[in-house]
Chain A
């Protein structure tokens, strides 16, 4: 058959009915545990530690509108979401975008959206931005974007920020990346954050509560091993990939860091909504063999305890 004709014919066929035999389920052994959905209750809901509000600079996102985003989160039993602002990436008037974020969460968040403002420690008067995040907007933490803001983690100003934020008992989220660097806009060349200096920095600052968001594309191998073994840093899971990713990383069998078990209490659910679909984070729990305790810890308990810890 002529293949062009074939394409047209198949479109018609597909529109009518599926013309092939249904699957006989030969490898679907209903007795295997992997074929049975679990019983984990949704009563506790989910805490999503990594969402953003406001427009993404390079694309209109379908859940970029706060109301739509909130509806989507609620549909999947997310009960709390830690929100940064996409305005943080390029705006210079940091306080203004922090105030917008706080206001958006307050007026539209229905108590679910927790604002995480940003601070750029290489800008003048960043200490005042930090103070306002804490005192004026009553934010529980800040989200930093070193790749977009142009500093590395051995920068003296960053070290000062780490100290000041810790003194205020603020959570410190560090965004390792936002987008796969291979598909960045040609006019934007943002490097992923190198976490190497963090292990030594945090030895001198044991009270710091640090979480890496979008970490796993770049924090792998020795860097990840160092973070696991030498720090108490928490990790958000939206870009933890590989088959059965959560199961394998807990067992120390994940290719990102083979041979080093990852403590379950240091993984926190995050979706990277609205840039990623929320379903990406959720399906990870379906795909991994996890105890109920492990699943509950990663889905909400770890985040809750991390935020409340003083």
Chain B
């Protein structure tokens, strides 16, 4: 049986691969580094120009396994500069170690930014004062700052954020951090999950950008983000491999945008943030 991408997108009202390539798509949310060569087949298929791994040097400590993963990641970054860049994870409950890793991986290494994950060792979210030295150093380095956020319904009585896991940041936490660092660009990840309150929480902070991967492709979400924040503060992520480019591309093509606005969301806005540090690292961008 010939399995050869039989589908022709142009015949079903979708952009062709060539049209996707022309949009110059940069994917800020890539989890495929453990299986990079395989996942790249699909990145290529969908015409995405560059991916940013959020899992660089994922294992902490000096265990043999951590050493192996770190070396692998350095090699991948070194050998795939044409399409791969990476951010390291920091942990606001381990400030000194986080700063040390930032110096190792960003100041003196190949990484271009930091990611706040959805959990950490002592359940410290991004609005906690522990984060101040981390953001200050990130700012000095010109690092991209990505913050996982979610708003989880639950609790008794139920509230929109009553089900939050400890240590997981909300867009409201990002807003509080943004208030303390008004000159630092922060990227609020996943549009807070529950995007209607999430977008409103960060709307007023012009130093906060929105990334909206990872949730279901609910129609109207990108329209709402553009309406509230403007088109210049949105960046795009694919969340491969646990999500799909089908899921994430559809959010943008659902929205009432012109070609130039789509280009901004798919890549131009992120290039404005990331290219300065990438050039310092020798990326030909």
Contact = CB atoms under 8 A, between A and B. Distances in A.
Interface of A: 2-4, 6-7, 10-11, 13-14, 18, 20-29, 32-42, 46, 59-63, 75-77, 179-187, 189, 239, 241-245, 247, 255, 273-295
A9 to B, nearest CB: 9
Nearest to A13: B272
A180 B215 CA distance: 8
A75 B254 CA distance: 13
A7 B10 CA distance: 36
Contact of B153 (A34, A184, A279, A291): A184
Interface in B191-218: 193-196, 206-207, 215-218
Given A40-B7, A277-B219, A277-B250, 12 more contacts: A7-B207, A11-B232, A27-B40, A34-B41, A37-B16, A39-B6, A59-B196, A77-B12, A243-B39, A243-B244, A280-B246, A291-B2
Contacts of B10: 37
Contact of A244 (B42, B182, B183, B254): B42
Interface in B20-43: 21, 24, 32, 39-43
B56 interface: no
A90 B114 CA distance: 45
B86 to A, nearest CB: 16
A241 B9 contact: no
A241 B4 contact: no
Interface centre among B160, B216, B275 (most CB of A within 10 A): B216
Contact of B185 (A3, A18, A27, A294): A3
Nearest to B46: A287
Given A4-B183, A184-B153, A32 B44 contact: yes
Interface stretch (B67-75, B91-99, B104-112, B235-243): B235-243
B5 A62 contact: no
B14 A287 contact: no
Contacts of A242: 241-244
A186 B14 contact: no
B29 to A, nearest CB: 12
Contacts of B216: 179-180, 239, 276
Interface stretch (B58-66, B120-128, B169-177, B263-271): B263-271
B5 A279 contact: no
Contacts of A41: 11
B46 A38 contact: no
B191 to A, nearest CB: 11
24 contacts: A3-B207, A13-B272, A23-B24, A23-B50, A27-B40, A35-B44, A37-B7, A38-B6, A76-B14, A183-B193, A183-B215, A241-B242, A241-B246, A242-B244, A243-B32, A243-B240, A280-B247, A280-B250, A282-B12, A284-B246, A287-B42, A290-B5, A290-B7, A295-B6
Ranked 4 nearest A-B pairs via Cβ:
A283-B246, A277-B254, A280-B250, A279-B250
A126 B268 CA distance: 56
A276 B184 contact: no
Interface centre among B6, B207, B253 (most CB of A within 10 A): B6
Interface string B147-167: 000111100011110110000
Contacts of B269: 14
Given A27-B82, A41-B11, A286-B45, A279 B21 contact: no
A248 to B, nearest CB: 9
B229 to A, nearest CB: 12
Nearest to B26: A23
B162 A186 contact: yes
B251 A277 contact: yes
A207 B182 CA distance: 64
Interface centre among B163, B184, B272 (most CB of A within 10 A): B272
